[in-house]
């Protein structure tokens, strides 16, 4: 089983969620999708566990610690 908190890149996130790039970034700005983590000067990714949590409940997803 892969480590649930590995960092996954944009291409993987788009493939797993079925969202377009523009929709993904709009949802991040609205606060309805996990924000990316800066992993280098020119690179970013997402915690796989956060993407899994979003996929399980896209409508009800909120950032950790918010509204719980």
pTM, full prediction? 0.85
* pLDDT mean over 9-36: 97
Judged on CB neighbours under 10 Å (0-12, 13-18, 19+), 6 is exposed
Order of strands across the sheet that contains 37-38: 7-8, 44-47, 37-38
Determine which of 24-28, 43-47, 64-68 has the lowest per-residue pLDDT on average.
64-68
Q: What percent of the chain has pLDDT over 70?
A: 90
Residue 43 has pLDDT above 80, yes or no: yes
């Amino acid at each position: 089983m892969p480590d649930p908190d590995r960092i996954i890149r944009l291409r993987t996130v788009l493939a797993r969620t079925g969202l377009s790039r523009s929709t993904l970034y709009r949802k991040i700005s609205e606060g309805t999708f996990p924000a990316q983590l800066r992993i280098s000067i020119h690179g970013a990714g997402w915690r796989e566990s956060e993407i899994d949590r979003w996929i399980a409940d896209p409508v009800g997803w909120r950032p950790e610690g918010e509204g719980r």
